[in-house]
């Protein structure tokens, strides 16, 4: 597949041509060590040093090159504004790219987990409309790439449909799977629009945190999100980005964006679809080329208030409280009895609400609720809800001491003397 990079020149807001534009890096005396486009992943020169670029219209330059799945690239422009002047250089990093339905889709991978060879890697995807309503795609499948961009052969590429908008995929990692970084690409179609999400997974010979991303803990996190659904799908409309120092990377107020099909990026109030990369995990947009100082970038996005790490921490804290109640126990999230699941979930929701209530006392988070005054009303409602969960949680904790406990039995076999005599057991009790 191919990718095109662009370079624009203006003077007093009017496009102008410059003396010379080439694809070339700052090179030492030997030009053979330079490059125009370098494949970082494969350490190969894609465009040779000194390739001349002609404008395709006044003040506008472009260069198209072939890209490979999962590869990163460095591009370098050599710009000479006027004859006889020293050139300047503009260097950028682009990619990675993935081929989805024969189209180039660029995505920043969120962390999917670290797994041991021979274990099951469980990854999840939640698809919603922009307002947070779960939505099923028309088609969905999985592709897994190595760090070098090669496709991993899979027995099944269709994820399991859990409920509306929720999908789970179990990758049974072979014991001889090569260790390293893998990109799990979810490809789906919603309202006739092709979308993709990338999750990065690490396969290792020894990964102590495998349990956090597979099996029961994933199920628990999924259950906890049912109690916090609204907080995990919050829409933000037309937020203006923070000022960018390099005119390329634009930050927004909240991280952990849901990859909703409704996410839109605006440049000067016009929706744009090309030449930028959204980092959903960090909540920023990075453009291929520097924008003008007067450009204004806005975004519609949908985000999750709580990260996966926070949800797991809330559940771990609730379980440690369960362990302290008599009889004292030493359970972990992967092995505690099913009868304690409501206690762990209610305790986690209580801590999540406490976290949310503290946040909305500050200026920026309060804007989600319409400002400080509206946030205080929400605070009072959250307080009532938290007390409700706390009441149920305390009642459930008190029930722990009632068991069930292991049952011990004593079986006594009496021994008798001659007829008319008394048993030894009877004599022992009444001697």
Domains and CATH numbers, the chain: 2-95 (no CATH), 103-227 (2.60.40.10), 231-303 (no CATH), 308-402 (no CATH)
Q: What's the distance, CA 260 to chain centroid?
A: 13
Question: Distance of alpha carbon 128 from its chain centroid, rounded?
Answer: 15
Phi (first) and psi of residue 31, to 5 degrees: -60, -20
Question: Would you write out the chain's pLDDT as a tens digit for each of its 431 residues?
Answer: 778 888 888 877 788 888 999 999 886 656 667 889 998 888 889 998 889 999 988 888 889 998 887 787 889 999 998 888 888 888 887 777 665 544 444 545 566 677 888 877 877 777 776 666 777 888 888 888 887 778 888 878 888 887 788 888 888 888 888 888 888 888 888 777 777 777 778 888 776 555 555 567 878 888 898 899 889 888 888 999 987 777 888 999 898 887 665 688 899 998 887 777 777 778 888 887 788 888 899 999 888 899 888 998 999 999 999 999 988 899 988 889 999 999 999 999 999 999 999 998 888 888 888 888 888 889 999 999 999 999 999 999 998 888 776 555 556 656 555 565 555 544 444 44
Nearest to 72 by CA among 90, 92, 96, 48: 96
Q: Are 14 and 57 in contact (CB under 8 A)?
A: no
Q: Measured on CA atoms in the order 338, 339, 342, 348, is the torsion positive or negative?
A: negative
Distances (CA, A) of 202 to 111, 115, 121, 144, 180: 9, 6, 10, 12, 6
Taking CA atoms, 69 is separated from 123, 157, 260, 284, in Å, by 21, 18, 23, 23
Non-local (6+) Cβ contacts of 75 within 8 A are 5, 23, 36, 37, 63, 91, 92, 93, 94
241 and 299 Cβ atoms separated by less than 8 Å: yes
Confidence (pLDDT) at 116: 82
Q: How far apart are the first and last CA of the chain?
A: 97
Can you give the pTM of this predicted structure?
A: 0.58
pLDDT of residue 418: 57
Task: Tell me how far apart the alpha carbons of residues 3 and 64 are, in angstroms, rounded to a whole number.
Answer: 6
CB atoms within 10 A of CB 173: 20
Name the token pair of 128.
């919603």
3-state SS assignment for residue 422: coil
């Amino acid at each position: 597949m191919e990718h095109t990079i662009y370079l624009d020149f203006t003077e007093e807001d009017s496009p102008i041509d410059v003396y010379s534009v080439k694809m070339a890096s700052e090179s030492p005396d030997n030009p053979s060590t330079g490059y125009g486009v370098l494949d970082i992943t494969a350490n190969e020169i894609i465009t040779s040093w000194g390739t001349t670029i002609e404008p395709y219209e006044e003040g506008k330059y472009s260069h198209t090159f072939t890209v490979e799945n999962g590869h990163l690239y460095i591009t370098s422009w050599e710009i000479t504004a006027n004859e006889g002047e020293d050139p300047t250089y503009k260097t950028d990093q682009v990619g990675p790219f993935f081929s989805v339905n024969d189209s180039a889709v660029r995505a920043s991978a969120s962390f999917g987990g670290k797994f041991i060879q021979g274990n099951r890697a469980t990854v999840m995807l939640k698809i919603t409309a922009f307002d947070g309503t779960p939505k099923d795609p028309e088609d969905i499948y999985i592709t897994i790439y190595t760090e070098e961009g090669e496709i991993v052969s899979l027995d099944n590429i269709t994820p399991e449909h859990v409920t509306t908008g929720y999908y789970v995929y179990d990758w049974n990692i072979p014991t001889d799977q090569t260790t390293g970084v893998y990109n799990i690409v979810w490809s789906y179609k919603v309202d006739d629009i092709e979308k993709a999400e990338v999750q990065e997974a690490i396969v290792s010979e020894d990964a102590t945190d495998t349990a956090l991303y597979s099996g029961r803990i994933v199920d628990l996190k999924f259950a906890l999100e049912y109690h916090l659904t609204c907080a995990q799908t919050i829409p933000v409309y037309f937020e203006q980005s923070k000022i960018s120092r390099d005119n390329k990377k634009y930050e927004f107020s909240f991280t952990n964006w849901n990859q909703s099909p409704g996410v839109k990026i605006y440049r000067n109030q016009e929706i744009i679809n090309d030449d930028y990369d959204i980092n959903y995990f960090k909540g920023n947009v990075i453009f291929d080329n520097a924008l003008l100082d007067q450009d204004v970038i806005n975004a519609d996005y949908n985000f999750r208030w709580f990260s996966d790490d926070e949800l797991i921490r809330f559940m771990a804290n609730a379980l440690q409280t369960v362990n302290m109640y008599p009889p004292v126990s030493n359970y972990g999230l992967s092995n505690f009895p099913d009868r304690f699941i409501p206690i762990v979930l209610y305790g986690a929701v209580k801590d999540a609400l406490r976290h949310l209530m503290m946040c909305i006392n500050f200026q920026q988070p309060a804007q989600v609720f319409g400002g400080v005054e509206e946030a205080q009303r929400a605070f009072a409602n959250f307080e009532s809800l938290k007390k409700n969960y706390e009441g149920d949680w305390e009642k459930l904790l008190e029930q722990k001491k009632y068991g069930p406990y292991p049952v011990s039995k004593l079986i006594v076999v009496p021994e008798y003397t001659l007829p008319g005599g008394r048993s030894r057991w009877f004599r022992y009790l009444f001697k």
